[in-house]
């Protein structure tokens, strides 16, 4: 019995449970939920199919306002194995979503290195990500943005772990002198090969993150803030920081180099459509900027993204109980900072999370399109739930002396069950069954594609694209969904399957073939 109790309470076992929950939520019914296939996802898929046929795997695909190529190239591997099915594109997102959950646990635990309750905070943060509708939804859509929090979380973990290999015994608490934190001279701690290797891995992952999403390009501020804190709080000397950070930067540049070279050769692609949606292009930029900040903060509690593709339209991005813990984490942390009573190990996590949120919010609040915007703010997910994990710590400290351990354990079990049940019901029942979701994912276009697949090549088929969209090789974007489902993105496949894509004003007049109309959904 004691062995069983030890197993059930071991951090590794609890982490496995969290990962199982995250995996189930991200892979369950992936073939049918979300319904249909949004044209942006299909565009990725068609580029993947083309790359498989031609061998031309690119670092950047300029169509559809331009997209970094890493995610599409990984999707190509999935399509090569599973075929041109929507879920083959989305399973890549699911895997990155699962990796993010694990990364949040590891990064939180490492930032709290030495704290007696680090496992509690890390497990809570990972569990909140696993059961977050905000993160779950984008873990099941074939958008490259899901890679951004995964790469940044893992790179922070390896960077901090490399620092901790050569760090003082503990950071300095508020109001404490460095000498009180450690009697050893700072230079007594050497930078070994293990620390350098960890930093190199972190840099490699960080550089790969630059291949993920435009908003990621603000994140050097997060990395620099972590480095500054280790130096400012005399956790590392410059002699230790410089080689570790240099290795991190060099490997990051190596990983980023192929994309960087492309941007040097094609500077117009570097900022994408940022100038089109920038708040600074408005008539009242300061007012809009401040209003965007208010709407972004309010999205956690009151009104979230209204796009059904991103959210249950208008619902807050945080479940009310988790929002309460997030608020507790921020409020207690700020209060302790003000009173100079923030515990040493909590200090690094608290400030890292705050800086991370501020940096991740920048691409959101400086845009003037669709605010609040759940997708554009995806990089905020890890630090938000890290702070919610700190809220759990401080709630636990307040309750453990007032509630019997058995009662507290039952309460925790009840909360876990509620959060899992709540996100399952919200995503798979309330959201997935809403007709607006089917429209948001162009389910009618996907049905047309499957209907075309039931016909023989001997029958001529005309797809009349009677809907506007970004031009892709002479055809509006919405046609990408049909092209992926039927595998007719390239002219050769269109000829083999006897399919012709035409615009509405060139619709054929024929009695010898089938005509399919793509209308505005």
Domain end call among 431, 453, 485: 431
CA separation, residue 314 to residues 11, 133, 388 (Å): 36, 13, 22
For residues 315 and 370, state if they share a domain: yes
Burial of 58 (0-12, 13-18, 19+ CB in 10 A): middle
In a domain, 225, yes or no: yes
pLDDT in tens, 426-468: 999 999 999 999 999 999 999 999 999 999 999 999 999 999 9
For residues 294 and 249, state if they share a domain: yes
In a domain, 70, yes or no: no
For residues 297 and 185, state if they share a domain: yes
pLDDT in tens, 473-510: 999 999 999 999 999 999 999 999 999 999 976 767 76
For residues 414 and 487, state if they share a domain: no
Domain end call among 431, 461, 495: 431
For residues 352 and 473, state if they share a domain: no
Range of the domain at 458: 443-519
In a domain, 77, yes or no: no
In a domain, 74, yes or no: no
For residues 427 and 447, state if they share a domain: no
Neighbours of 507 (CB within 10 A): 14
What does the alpha-carbon distance between residue 115 and residue 177 come to, in Å, rounded to a whole number? 19
In a domain, 391, yes or no: yes
In a domain, 292, yes or no: yes
Task: Determine the average pLDDT of the residues in 356-375.
Answer: 92
What does the alpha-carbon distance between residue 262 and residue 250 come to, in Å, rounded to a whole number? 18
pLDDT at 185 over 50: no
3-state secondary structure of 153: helix
Task: Determine the average pLDDT of the residues in 165-193.
Answer: 60
Q: What pLDDT score was predicted for residue 114? A: 86
For residues 424 and 504, state if they share a domain: no
Q: Which pair of tokens denotes residue 242?
A: 């410089």
Domain end call among 383, 402, 431: 431
Q: What pLDDT score was predicted for residue 504? A: 76
For residues 290 and 395, state if they share a domain: yes
Confidence of residue 3 (pLDDT cuts 50, 70, 90): low
pLDDT at 422 over 70: yes
Q: What pLDDT score was predicted for residue 409? A: 87
Number of domains comprising the chain: 2
Q: Are the C-beta atoms of 353 and 393 separated by less than 8 Å?
A: no
pLDDT at 177 over 80: no
For residues 401 and 471, state if they share a domain: no
For residues 343 and 487, state if they share a domain: no
For residues 254 and 275, state if they share a domain: yes
For residues 94 and 135, state if they share a domain: yes
pLDDT at 135 over 60: yes
């Amino acid at each position: 019995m004691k062995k069983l109790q030890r197993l059930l309470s071991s951090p590794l076992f609890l982490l496995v449970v969290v990962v199982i929950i995250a995996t189930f939520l991200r892979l369950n019914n992936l073939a049918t939920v979300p319904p249909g296939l949004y044209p942006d996802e299909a565009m990725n898929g068609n580029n993947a199919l083309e790359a498989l046929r031609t061998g031309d795997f690119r670092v950047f695909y300029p169509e559809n306002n331009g997209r970094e190529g890493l995610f599409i190239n990984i999707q190509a591997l999935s399509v090569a194995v599973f075929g041109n099915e929507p879920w083959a594109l989305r399973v890549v997102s699911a895997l990155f979503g699962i990796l993010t959950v694990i990364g949040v646990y590891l990064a939180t635990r490492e930032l709290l290195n030495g704290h007696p309750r680090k496992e509690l905070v890390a497990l809570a943060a990972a569990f909140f990500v696993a059961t977050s509708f905000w993160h779950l939804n984008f873990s099941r859509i074939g958008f490259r943005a899901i890679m951004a929090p995964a790469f940044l979380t893992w790179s922070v973990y390896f960077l901090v772990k490399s620092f901790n290999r050569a760090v003082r015994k503990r950071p300095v608490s508020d109001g404490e002198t460095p000498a009180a934190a450690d009697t050893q001279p700072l230079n007594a701690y050497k930078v070994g090969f293990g620390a350098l290797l960890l930093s190199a891995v972190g840099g490699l992952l960080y550089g790969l993150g630059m291949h993920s999403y435009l908003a990621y390009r603000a994140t050097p501020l997060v990395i620099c803030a972590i480095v500054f804190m280790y130096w400012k709080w005399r956790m590392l000397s410059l002699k230790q920081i410089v080689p570790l950070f240099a290795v991190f930067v060099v490997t990051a540049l190596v990983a980023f180099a192929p994309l960087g070279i492309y941007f040097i050769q094609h500077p117009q692609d570097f900022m994408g459509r940022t100038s089109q949606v920038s708040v600074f292009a408005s008539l009242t930029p300061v007012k809009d900027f401040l209003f965007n900040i208010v709407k972004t903060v309010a999205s956690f509690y009151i009104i979230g993204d209204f796009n059904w593709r991103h959210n249950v339209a208008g619902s807050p991005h945080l479940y009310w109980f988790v929002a309460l813990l997030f608020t507790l984490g921020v409020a207690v942390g700020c209060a302790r900072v003000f009173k100079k009573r923030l515990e040493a190990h909590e200090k690094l996590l608290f400030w890292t999370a705050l800086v991370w949120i501020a940096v991740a919010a920048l691409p959101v609040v400086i845009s003037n399109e669709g605010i609040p915007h759940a997708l554009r703010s995806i990089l905020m997910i890890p630090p938000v739930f890290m702070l919610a994990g700190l809220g759990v710590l401080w709630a636990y400290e307040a309750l453990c002396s007032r509630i019997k351990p058995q009662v507290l354990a039952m309460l925790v079990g009840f909360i876990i069950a509620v959060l899992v049940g709540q996100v399952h019901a919200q995503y798979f029942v309330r959201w997935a069954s809403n007709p607006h979701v089917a429209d948001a994912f162009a389910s009618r276009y996907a049905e047309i594609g499957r209907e075309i697949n039931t016909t023989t090549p001997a029958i001529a088929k005309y797809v009349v694209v009677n809907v506007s969209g970004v031009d892709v090789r002479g055809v509006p974007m919405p046609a990408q969904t049909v092209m992926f489902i039927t595998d007719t993105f390239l002219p050769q496949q269109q000829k083999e399957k006897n399919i012709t894509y035409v615009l509405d004003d060139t619709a054929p007049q024929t009695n010898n073939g089938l005509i399919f109309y793509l209308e505005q959904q």
